[in-house]
Structure 1
Amino acid sequence: MRINSTVLLTLTLLTLMLGSGSVSAFLGFDIGSKALKGVTTPDSRPTTKFNNAKTGSSQHGGTFLKEEEILKIVKARIEGKTRTKSEKIEEEEEEDTTTNKQKQKPQEEIQEKPQAGFPVTTESGGVNFSVQSARYSGGALQLQVNLQNKGKDSVRFLYSFLDITDNKGRTLSGSTDGLPSELPANGPTFSGTVSIPTALLDDVKSISLSITDYPAQKLKLEVSDIPVGK
């Protein structure tokens, strides 16, 4: 009898312990649920953030343009910049052209306007010899001369035989450049220069040039009273 009463007491104690544990667990769960009510975990998903951003922007009154409208705006801006650049290039070209014309006009006027006292010409046997201008440059007097043969036969010259004299009859030395050794019959006008050192022209007012054909010496070309005053 004593054994049965002991077993019964043990079972009763175990039942009470299990019951009190269950009641405690239920009460703890219920209290914790009530305490955590209204508390939520943060949403870290990127799609959710993007959706929230879109919702926020729409709430602030923002608008999104269509793809066609964006392309039209970009195209218009590109065309506007291109036209602006082309207009600037055209304006610069016009300015350069105007500037070049303004620079060229004085030179053309100088070339077209003959120098005082020139040209000085002579003719013999169908050959025309003329001095177009006289200018000092590089320590020498530069005479611009032209030769043209209008005759039926060609004419040869040896320019080392060119005689140069001043207004006092003194012989001067000089050199030629650009003149042909032979003038063809009915040929074009040939241009060249006769250079005389400036040191030989200190007190000279005018000079004369004389040359004959070589070797026939059938004609004589002589240009006199060429003004060379400084």
Structure 2
Amino acid sequence: MKINPTVALTFLLLVLMTGAGVFTGALGFAIGREALKGITQPDSRPTNKGTAQNSSVREDIVLLKEEDILKTVKGRTSAGRSSSPSPNASPQSNSEEAKPASNAAAKLPMTTQTNGVAMDVTGIRKQGEFLLLDVALKNNSNQPVKFLYSFLNVTDDKGRLIVADTAGLPPELPSKSDRFTGTISISTSMLDDAQKISLQLSDYPDQKLQLKMADIPIKSP
């Protein structure tokens, strides 16, 4: 039987195309598998400690308490409201915003000193929705001291942590420095029924120097 040349050529082309496709697919699979050799899916199981590097990363994660977050938000919100005075406020009402905090000033000034570095609380007053503490720092030692005021720890007489802001205090006290003054501001909404507060300030980054001042009266007995 005579074979049609056109049919034979078409069949040959189909065989060649099929063979080329199979060969190309196999070659691509082999190259891809070789390229991905040694790569594995990361283990995201929370109970798996993983490598030492992953463990160190997890250890650096600090989970904040919900109570502290709510206190911070509450203090910041109060700060935003008090920083925008009413346009109808009279000069007399503005002048009356800063008032001494009851009879708390009777026991002031209070002083604490560690390794030649002294911290004074010289005054306490109320301004709007904030309690302001007038403070002073002085370095009598021969070494400069650095502070990071976000490390300032303020607690009330019930052991509750209080969010506070500082203003005017320098980040570094040079050796044999002058006396630097500033303020610590606390939202009165965070003080509730507290009668006294305590301050603790550490140097940065060593945190070897601890300035502590306890039982600072903020209300009259």
Specify the structure having the higher radius of gyration (Cα). 1
Code of the residue aligned with 1:197 in structure 2: it is S
User: What TM-score, normalized by structure 2, do the two folds share?
Assistant: 0.52
Q: Which runs of 5+ in 2 are unaligned?
A: 1-99
Question: 1:103-182 counterparts in 2 under 5 A?
Answer: 115-182=105-172
Runs (4+) off by over 6 Å? none
**Please, which of 183, 186, 190 is the counterpart of residue 193 of structure 1?**
183
- Percent identity at matched positions? 47
Q: Which runs of 5+ in 1 are unaligned?
A: 1-109
Code of the residue aligned with 2:147 in structure 1: it is F
C-alpha displacement at 1:202, in angstroms? Answer: 2.0
Code of the residue aligned with 1:184 in structure 2: it is P
Q: Distance in 2 between matches of 1:209 and 1:141?
A: 14
- Which structure has more RCO (C-alpha within 8 Å, separation ≥ 6)? 2
Q: Distance in 2 between matches of 1:121 and 1:168?
A: 22
C-alpha displacement at 1:115, in angstroms? Answer: 2.9
Report SS of the residue matched to 2:150: helix
Q: Distance in 1 between matches of 2:192 and 2:209?
A: 32
Q: Distance in 1 between matches of 2:171 and 2:214?
A: 22
Report SS of the residue matched to 2:176: coil
User: What TM-score, normalized by structure 1, do the two folds share?
Assistant: 0.50
Offset from partner CA, 1:155-196 (integer Å, 9 cap, x none): 000000000000011100010000000001001000000000
Q: Does 1:224 align with 2:208?
A: no
- Cα-Cα RMSD: 1.6
**Please, which of 187, 206, 216 is the counterpart of residue 196 of structure 2?**
206
Query: Of Structure 1 and Structure 2, which has the larger fraction of its residues in helix?
Result: 1
Give the aligned length: 118
Q: Distance in 1 between matches of 2:110 and 2:212?
A: 10
